[in-house]
Amino acid sequence: MKVIEMARRLGVTADTVRFYTRIKILKPGKNKANGYREYSEKDYNRLRFVLSARQLGFSVEDIQEILNHADKKKSPCPTVRSLIDQRLNETEQRFAETLQLRERMQQAVVEWSQKPDKVPTGHMICHLIEEFAQ
């Protein structure tokens, strides 16, 4: 199948298919008659796997590592378990940081609703932010 056919079947853009081809996750053959890339059912299944892994938070590098195990006929499951633990920990950290940011923003909304507007001076741009940050 051609790039556009592969993209349509998976609900992605042709650029997505080209990206994974460019980084050699997909390895299509070439049509001898016209030189176009021809994607096989194996390529389709591989990209479907990649898209599923991306939805779980795996990075492109993670996916390449997983595929390397699979391509060598080794079980990627231990690697997948280890990587998902790492990604979960990273996500938990980002979530905690986001909650802290949310609290600071809520505090700013309350404080700033009571403060007057001020025109910038040579030493101050927006007193709301500058005073809050201190």
Q: What is the pLDDT of residues 85-124, one digit of tens each?
A: 999 999 999 999 999 999 999 999 999 999 999 999 888 8
pTM equals 0.79
Query: How far is CA 87 from each of CA 16, 47, 59, 82, rounded to the nearest angstrom?
Result: 23, 21, 9, 9
Kindly state whether residue 86 falls inside one of the protein's structural domains: yes
Kindly state whether residue 116 falls inside one of the protein's structural domains: no
Tell me the HSE value of 44 on the side-chain side, using a 13 A CA sphere. 14
Which range has the worst mean pLDDT, 32-36, 81-85, 101-105, 125-129?
Answer: 32-36
Kindly state whether residue 129 falls inside one of the protein's structural domains: no
Residue 93: CATH number of its domain: 1.10.1660.10
Kindly state whether residue 90 falls inside one of the protein's structural domains: yes
Which among 23, 87, 99, 28 is positioned nearest to 55, based on CA atoms?
87
How many domains does the structure of the chain reveal?
Answer: 1
How large is the C-alpha radius of gyration of the chain? 24
- Domain holding 41, by residue range, is 3-105
Which among 31, 67, 37, 123 is positioned nearest to 59, based on CA atoms?
67
Q: In 11-76, where does DSSP find H-type helix?
A: 14-22, 41-55, 60-71
Confidence tier at 134 by pLDDT (50, 70, 90): low
Kindly state whether residue 85 falls inside one of the protein's structural domains: yes
What is the tens place of the pLDDT at every residue in 67-85? 999 999 999 999 999 999 9
